[in-house]
Amino acid sequence: MKNKYKKALLSVASVGFWILVWHITASLANRRLLFKIPLPYNTVKAFFTYAETALFRRAVGNSLAHIICGFLFAVVLGLICGILSGNSVVFKTVTSPVSRLIRSVPVAAFIILAWLWIPSSVIPAVISFLMVFPIVWIQVETALSGIDYKLIEMASILGMSRKDIIKNIKIPSVLPSFRNACITGLGFAWKSGVAAEVICNPTGSIGALLSNAKSNLEYEQVFAIVLTIIILSLILENVIKFFWRESR
C-alpha cells in the first residue's frame, strides 16, 4: 500500500514538474514575442469553457463512437484471422501479403486512399480498424505458433479432449498476447482516428474542432482540444486495463 502511495505521489510530482516547465516556457516565449504558447491556466480555462458547449460534447461522442467501433471490429476480425493463421499454414501463406501490406502503408496514405471512396464521417472508423487489425492478428498468430505442440500431444495421450486442450492450454497461452494487443491497439486506434479526423475534417468531430481552431489561430482552443485528446486517451487506456483486470 505504501508503494502505491509513493508511486502516485511521484506521478503527481512529475506532472506538476512538466506543467511548471510549460508555464515557464510559455511565459518566456510570450514575453519575448517568439511565438504564442497558451499558459496552463488559460488552456484549462478554455477546456472547461469548451466542455460546457453542446458542440464539444457532440464532437467527443461522435469521435469516441466511430473510433471504438473501428477498434472493436478490428479486435474481432483480428482474433479470427490470428486463430486461423496460427492453426493453418495454408491460410497464413495466402493472407500474409495482406497483413504485410496493411502494416507497411503509412497511416496518412491510408487516410488519403480511403478519402477517395469513403464518406469522411466513416474514415476515422476505417483507419482505426486498419491500425488495430494487424496488431491483433499478428499477436494472436504468434502466440498460437509459439505453443509447444509436444504438450498438446501429451495432453491428447492422457485423454484430454480437444475442448479441454483449447480451454486449458491454447486460451491461456494466447490471452496475454491478445490482452497486450488490445491495450496497444486502442492507443493506436485513438491517435490514428483523430489524425484521420484532422485531415478529412468530418463535421462534428474532435479532429474537425482542432483543425478549425488551428485555422482561426485560436491557440488556447487548440491546446484545450489537445488536452481533451490526451485525457480521453488516458481514460480509454485505464478502462480497458480495468476490464482485463476484472476478467482475469
Q: Render pLDDT for 98-140 as a digit per residue (tens, 0 to 9).
A: 878 887 878 888 888 888 888 888 889 999 998 999 999 999 9
Contact criterion met (CB below 8 Å) for 43 and 223: yes
The 8-class DSSP code of residue 119 comes to -
Cell of 14: 512529475
What is the spatial distance between Cα 43 and Cα 248, in angstroms, rounded to a whole number?
39
CA–CA separation, 99 vs 64, rounded Å?
26
The per-residue pLDDT for range 181-234, each reduced to its tens digit, is 998 888 889 988 998 888 888 888 888 888 888 887 778 888 888 888 888 888
With beta carbons less than 8 A apart as the criterion, state whether 149 and 191 touch: no
Q: Cell numbers at residue 163, please?
A: 475442448
Residue whose C-alpha cell reads 498468430 in the numeric block: 141
pTM: 0.84
Shortest CA distance to 85 belongs to which of 76, 93, 73? 93
Contact 53, 42 (CB under 8 A): no
C-alpha dihedral sign at 46, 47, 51, 54:
positive
DSSP string, 191-235: HHHHHHHHHH--SSSHHHHHHHHHHTT-HHHHHHHHHHHHHHHHH
**High-pLDDT (> 90) share of the chain, %:** 10
Concatenating the DSSP letter of every residue in 64-110 gives HHHHHHHHHHHHHHHHHHHHHHHH-HHHHHHHHHHHHHHHHS-HHHH
Using one digit for the tens of pLDDT, what is the confidence trace for 65-75?
Answer: 999 999 999 99
201 burial type by CB count under 10 A (0-12 exposed, 13-18 middle, 19+ buried): middle
pLDDT band at 248 (very low <50, low <70, confident <90, very high): very low
